[in-house]
Structure 1
Amino acid sequence: MRKSKTEKMVVAALLASFSYLLLLVEIPVLPGFNWLKLDFSDVPILIGTFVLGPIGGIVIAFIRSTLNFVLRGGDILSLIGNITGFLASVIMLLPIYLMMKKETSNKNLVTGMTISTIALTIFMSIANYFVITPLYMYVAGMNFGMPIKEMVLYGIVPFNLFKGLAVSVVFFVTYKKLVPVIEKRMAFVKN
């Protein structure tokens, strides 16, 4: 059993490192909302969720966010952003995992990704309206040039719908390629 724990830790560390590296490649996708940047750091987290279970995925997301916080300076704005990123990753992984735990099928995978995208969009919209954006405005004196309501409606909602879709498509392709390898190498890790 010791070997499997060690293997799990190594897999989690590798996926968290890869997730952090992908976090550094940020792509602005919405004109006028340049601070909203797409990254694919959730793909290794989702892979880790299927290899190590939901707790493993959450641990990978936590390590990724902690690495990013520490290596980018560790200030209050970074803390807000990394907590938000961690919560968004958890919200993204849970519905996909739960749907696939019911039955491993393309239909359940697509349903899980759809639910994840909707949950991510709803959570981020509410969190930005009531907590995240007001915190950034208070702590850093940021002015987004529009009322929070408009920013959420025209920036946060479309961005998170697009992010959920983009991450889901990349994960779907990756998952389909890795399933045979995952099942062969990590069959003993079923949670």
Structure 2
Amino acid sequence: MRDCKLRSLILISIIAAISFLIMIFEFALPVFPPFLKLDFSDLPALLIGFSLGPASGIGVVFIRNLLHLTITATMGVGELANFLISGTFVFISAYFYARYKKAVLSLIVGTAGMVIMALITNLLIIIPLYEAILDLPLENTILAARAVNPAIEGINSYLAMVIAPFNLLKATLVSIVFYPIFKRIRLTSTYKNIKGDD
């Protein structure tokens, strides 16, 4: 039992390091403000979450963000946001998969959870912390978003037209890439105990 836990911990740590390396290769999309970056670092976390359980997936997200603190440009605010938002996506998706063994349904529910958490986190945590810690007024964020989308006028339109669609797009793209990879891995001997309907 101890050896099994140790192997799982080592695997989670290795996958978290890979997730961190993937996180470095982030890129902006022209339809969103440049401070919102897309990356695929949730892929390894989802793989671990679906194979070992939601707690293991959360562990990957947590360790990944601890590693990212060594190169942070946001004094930890960005890492906190990433942990809360991506962690929600990974945890809910992995939890539903563990319970119902339906990968597509699990990813859809996880995506919905990620969007909701992104809205809550931005409103109650990220924006206030950026103002308090990084001295970045909300007005500056709105102006940067308005430069891309002139329809954005305030916090409500910013959340509805920037934060929600960005996280919806991110989770959808990650899910689209993840699903065929997971199906392939599920057929290997290492993960032959993972069963599911889709």
Counterpart residue number, 1:37: 37
Aligned-pair CA distance for 1:40: 0.6
CA RMSD of aligned residues (A): 2.2
Aligned-pair CA distance for 1:65: 0.5
Identity %: 29
* Paired AA for residue 4 in structure 1: C
* Paired AA for residue 112 in structure 2: I
Contact 2:50-2:98 at 8 Å conserved across structures: no
* Paired AA for residue 113 in structure 1: L
- 5+ residue gaps, structure 2, are 144-152
2:181 to 174, 177, 184: 174
Counterpart residue number, 2:156: 149
Q: With the length of structure 1 as denominator, give the TM-score of the two structures.
A: 0.85
**Are residues 48 and 32 of structure 1, via their aligned partners in 2, closer, same or farther at CA, if it must alter by over 3 Å?**
closer
Counterpart residue number, 2:66: 66
Contact 1:129-1:149 at 8 Å conserved across structures: no
Contact 2:55-2:91 at 8 Å conserved across structures: no
Mapping 1:45-124, distance limit 5 Å? 45-69=45-69, 71-73=70-72, 77-104=74-101, 108-124=102-118
Instruction: Please give the per-residue CA displacement for 1:96-138, whole angstroms capped at 9, x wherever unaligned.
Output: 223222332xxx2111111111111111112212321122123
Instruction: Please give the per-residue CA displacement for 1:31-85, whole angstroms capped at 9, x wherever unaligned.
Output: 351111111111100111123222211111111000001x215x7x231111111
Larger fraction in helix: 1
Counterpart residue number, 2:17: 17
Contact 2:23-2:40 at 8 Å conserved across structures: yes
Contact 2:186-2:194 at 8 Å conserved across structures: no
* Paired AA for residue 120 in structure 1: M
Of 147-156 and 82-91, the range deviating more from structure 2: 147-156
Q: Does 1:185 align with 2:179?
A: no
- Residues in 1 aligned to 2:85 and 2:124: alpha-carbon distance in whole angstroms: 16
How many residues are treated as equivalent by the alignment?
182
**Runs of 4 or more consecutive aligned structure 1 residues displaced over 6 Å after TM superposition:** 187-190
Q: With the length of structure 2 as denominator, give the TM-score of the two structures.
A: 0.83
* Paired AA for residue 116 in structure 2: I
